[in-house]
A and B are shown apart, each in its own frame.
Chain A
Amino acid sequence: MIMFGTFEKKIFGIEWQKILSYRFEFWLNFFGEMALCIIIPYFLWDTIYVSKNITVYHGLALPDIVSYSFCAFYCFKIVMGGGKEGSISQEIYYGTLSRYLVYPMNYLFMKYIQYMATSLFHLSKFVLLLVLAKWWWHLPIDPTVEQLGLFVLILFLAANFVFLIFTINECMAFWADNVWSLQVIFRTTLQILGGLYSPLLFFPEKFQNILAWSPISHCVYTPVMILLGKQGYPLFSIFASLMISISILFFLLKAVWKRGLIKFEAAGM
């Protein structure tokens, strides 16, 4: 639970300032990404639809699938905290974690605030770009207020889930030094089974039923389908799988962190 006191506000503010520090990078990212994540999916899916001679595939027309790709790209960024994975394991590996351990604060809570600040920044950016994309490319995205609320709530839970699982992965650096492969495996799993590249609708039905109970599928696919107003998984399976996973991972992270700190040698300090 985020209790917004001075410390949290400062961390939040600093994260946003860091994103805004590099002007060229910011604007390139802002408009470049938007163009790429609409133009590339458009030509890719257009080729597929034309070659198959279809206008609708699994209930999605070409504008729908382009909208899906656009939204999925940003949802992935939001739940990934803007791609913050690797920072904790690097701090353990290089010993810079010691810098934070001498402060009277909870390091993991600070990382959580940083993560959520970046996620919120990308969510704000997404909302702005969504308005732009609707106006410029006429993407068929017209969510109701309820759908928007549900979309934000699921994204928030998914971001918590991804933060916890990535942080546990990163804590493995206390024992294994380099955990990059572990991160890549999870990131790739999240990209494919989360529905970043294509909607999970295109997967075999049996597989979809299994994925309904996996929190991974609710990281990208579920919120995007809700935003597009399409039928997704039942709400009960979405919330149950996310809440149960978050609870288990929370306690697991606490245990791993406590044990890991005993192993920490602050190399290079």
Chain B
Amino acid sequence: MIEIKQVSKHYKTYRKDPGFMGSLKSLWARNFITKTALKDIDLKISSGERIGLLGANGAGKTTLIKILAGIMPADEGTVSVMGYTPYEREASYLKQLAIVMGQKAQLWWDLPALDSFELLAAIYEQDRSLWMPRLDELSQKLNVAHLLKIPVRKLSLGERMKMELIGAFLHQPAIIFLDEPTLGLDLQAQKSVRQFILDYHEQYRPTIILTSHYMKDIEALCPRLVMIEQGKIIYDGSSDKISEANSQEKKLQITFKNPEEGQDFVIKMRNQFSLENADKSESSGSSPLVKHWNVPKKRLTEVMTFIMQETSMEDFNLSDMELSELIEQVWFTKKN
């Protein structure tokens, strides 16, 4: 369905020295540089798959989505989606596509969502007898039927995102790009959005390509993961490894009353449990009073008991690992 062969993309940008003199100089002579966003990417995605596209900011995942959606052409290589070349932007291709961007509104800000939906139905040349029942169904499922006539700007973030999803799914696309669909939503809204996407996929089987920084999104929605780093695919496989890594460790953060106590405790943790302090450097902006460790879940009880006995800490926090840390871990394990 989606076949990407040896795709590369480069951006041309310029470098400017800081300050007034730098600005003055750049008026006359600009130092142009070429940045490689994607390098020889090969990827195959079958119809109906749910894929998580992961990577740090600037890794190249958004560039890949832009190429697949036909927003920009690839500089090298070939891209084929359902037999179409996306950049040719044929109407018959675009009618099968949908993009939801968590950071950018697609609906008209000043108008009720219903007006936007009617316009979208006209853009996608949807028959009213088809899209009205579909709108009813989607708005009931997301519990926003009563909000369809309220101006979009008056809706909460979660309500707006639900409307965005309806707008994107109304024409029953075959491929859906979801870029951070749960960004900024509260836990309840995140959960309902995830469930809605899953239910929709179960019913209509579209291909879903998701980018997210939330582990819960990835775990719930993507059986397959593609990780991109510096424009290259570094991992393409099951998301189980990420979930596995997530289920093995917890991130422990302790705030000490003074830096000396923190330093002493780093040594104690090393001696007692062979656990290394997970702060990469003191100069990274973190407070010398705050220390982090990645603690195996099976040792959590004894570590916590030890902490209670050995420190007079100010505060502590126990949380799941960040997605970027999990990716790093899986990538590191794969490399070695």
Contact = CB atoms under 8 A, between A and B. Distances in A.
Interface of A: 5-7, 9-11, 14, 17-18, 21-22, 96, 98-99, 101-105, 262, 264-266, 269
B76 to A, nearest CB: 14
Given A104-B91, A104-B124, A266-B71, A98 B66 contact: yes
A7 B122 contact: yes
A5 B121 CA distance: 13
B95 interface: yes
Given A99-B104, A103-B123, 12 more contacts: A7-B119, A7-B122, A14-B111, A14-B115, A18-B111, A21-B111, A98-B71, A102-B71, A103-B94, A105-B123, A266-B72, A269-B101
Contact of B119 (A11, A22, A98, A104): A11
Given A18-B111, A21-B111, A101-B89, A264 B71 contact: yes
B283 to A, nearest CB: 30
Contacts of A6: 122
Interface of B: 11, 62, 66, 69-73, 89, 91-92, 94-95, 97-99, 101, 104, 106, 108, 110-111, 115, 118-119, 122-125, 151, 179
Given A21-B110, A99-B106, A262 B73 contact: yes
Nearest to A18: B110
A269 B177 CA distance: 12
Contacts of B119: 7, 10-11, 14
B26 to A, nearest CB: 13
A269 B92 CA distance: 24
A101 B93 CA distance: 12
B278 to A, nearest CB: 32
A3 to B, nearest CB: 13
7 contacts: A6-B122, A10-B122, A17-B115, A21-B110, A98-B71, A105-B123, A269-B104
A22 B151 CA distance: 12
Contacts of B11: 265
A10 B110 CA distance: 15
B255 to A, nearest CB: 36
Contacts of B97: 102
